[in-house]
């Protein structure tokens, strides 16, 4: 039995999710593996609500539990992501070594503007994607790599002791690779 939201998934998407669920069932951390595989398969590297609903129905796991897992782990995305991801650590060690300046620098370099008061929240999380969907800039509370502060992750590669010049070099490299 399919609900209306499940019907929004194409037959191919449902088949892929079913195959992933079958291959992961009974494995330690099955839900994490399912979510990671499904997100990686999505062209915009995120987990749409209808996909989460379908996973819940197929695994008999409460949607609330799946949602709590997705919102707990920083690697999961509930919004479409850009082709390249730049993630800046906002932990204490990185903050004291200039991560806020790195965030402002990358926002300006990618045309995302400076943050305004309506964007900030108590936990100082940022998630912005450029209009052309080439870049997503986000922050995390901590990567756990404090000895390398400030830390920036570029397309899942950790870069330590980053300054504005090295970050601009990383962006230039991404630009060259996209042509």
Kindly indicate whether the domain formed by 84-177 is annotated with CATH number 1.10.287.180: no
Q: For the chain, what are the domain ranges?
A: 4-72, 84-177
Task: Give CA separation, 170 vs 3, 26, 158, in Å.
Answer: 44, 40, 12
Structure tokens at 85: 């991801």
Task: Say what the pTM is.
Answer: 0.73
| 15-57 confidence digits (pLDDT tens) | 999 999 999 988 889 999 999 999 999 999 999 999 999 999 9
Angle between helices 49-59 and 11-24 (to 10 degrees): 50
In this prediction, residue 120 carries a pLDDT of: 43
Beta bridge partners of 129: 136
pLDDT (tens digit per residue) in 104-152: 999 999 999 876 543 444 445 788 999 999 999 999 888 899 999 999 9
């Amino acid at each position: 039995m399919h609900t209306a939201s499940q019907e929004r998934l194409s037959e191919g998407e449902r088949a892929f999710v079913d195959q992933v669920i079958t291959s992961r069932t009974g494995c330690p951390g099955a839900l994490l593996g399912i979510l990671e595989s499904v997100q990686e398969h999505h062209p915009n590297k995120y987990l749409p609500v209808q996909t989460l609903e379908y996973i819940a129905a197929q695994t008999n796991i409460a949607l609330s539990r799946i949602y709590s897992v997705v919102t707990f782990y920083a690697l999961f995305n509930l919004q479409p992501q850009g082709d390249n991801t730049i993630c800046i650590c906002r932990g204490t060690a990185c903050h004291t070594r200039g991560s806020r300046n790195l965030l402002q620098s990358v926002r300006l370099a990618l045309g995302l503007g400076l943050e305004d008061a309506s964007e900030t929240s108590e936990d100082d999380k940022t998630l912005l994607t450029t209009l052309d969907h080439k870049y997503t800039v986000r922050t995390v509370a901590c990567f756990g790599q404090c000895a390398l502060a400030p830390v920036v992750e570029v397309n899942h590669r950790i870069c330590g002791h980053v300054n504005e010049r090295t970050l601009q070099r990383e962006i230039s490299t991404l630009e060259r690779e996209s042509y």
